[in-house]
Structure 1
Amino acid sequence: MLPMKKYHIQNAPFVVPTTDGKLIEEHHGRVATNNNEISIAHMVAPPHWSEPFQTPAFDEYTYIISGRKQFIIEGDTVVLEKGQSIRIEKNVRVQYSNPFDEPCEYLSVCLPAFSIENVNRE
């Protein structure tokens, strides 16, 4: 009997269907790897993209690979650019957007894993 591997290389992330032009590739999470503890996704937000306000029941970490991304966090407007990251605590009202003329590529990590049921979009 072969020993069970203690690692998993993700070669085929789950591409979340969207209608707003945003690319979401879940590498680890509820759908891609049946993991409820953490989700890790590669995303590209197109120019002039935005989501409704939400109050997620998870901590979310974002790392900007290229471009810029805007966050409205309980009334504060924050803009991150390449090489910057942010952690937004769970149960905080936030809106994510890319009001700029270039795409924004970034990584998102959610603890516990992202789910539509616990994002609490308005």
Structure 2
Amino acid sequence: MKKYFIQTSPFIVPTTDGKLIEEHHGLATTQNKDISIAHMIAPVAWSEPFQTPEFDEYTYIISGKKQFIIEDEKIILEAGQSIKIESNTRVQYSNPFDKPCEYIAICTPAFDFKKVHRE
């Protein structure tokens, strides 16, 4: 029995806002409830509603920039930077910039639509 798993077929989450979400590990792909790892590309002028998720979320920016409004503070991350946002924190994610933003998102426990609490 192998003690590793190589993901070659991530789950492409259906979206209506042009954002690419490829979940490599998590509830949708590997039924792992402890962690989710996703590769994402947020298009120009993309944004999500505010949310208060029941999981920690780590974001690592590969290219472009991403804006976070955490509680009442605006933060902009650029390529090579990362952030951890603790569970039960009100946050909004967006890309108001002129280039797409490519990044990796890791959630612990795994991302779950029932636990994201979007406004």
Is the TM-score greater than 0.5? Answer: yes
TM range (shorter): over 0.9
Question: How do 1:93-112 residues align onto structure 2 when only pairs under 5 Å count?
Answer: 93-112=90-109
Distance 2:45 2:93 in 1: 11
Cα shift at 1:64 = 0.1
Question: Is there any run of 5+ residues in structure 2 with no aligned partner, and where?
Answer: none
Question: Is there any run of 5+ residues in structure 1 with no aligned partner, and where?
Answer: none
Q: Provide the aligned C-alpha RMSD in A.
A: 0.3
**Residue 30 of structure 1: which of 27, 30, 37 is its match?**
27
**Residue 76 of structure 1: which of 73, 95, 104 is its match?**
73
Distance 1:117 1:6 in 2: 31
Question: Highest CA radius of gyration, 1 or 2?
Answer: 1
Distance 1:32 1:67 in 2: 27
Name the counterpart of 1:64.
61
1:113 is aligned to 2:116 = no
Deviations 1:27-49 (A, max 9, x none): 00001111000000000000000
Give the length in aligned residue pairs. Answer: 119
**Under a length normalisation based on structure 2, what TM-score does the superposition of the two structures give?**
0.99
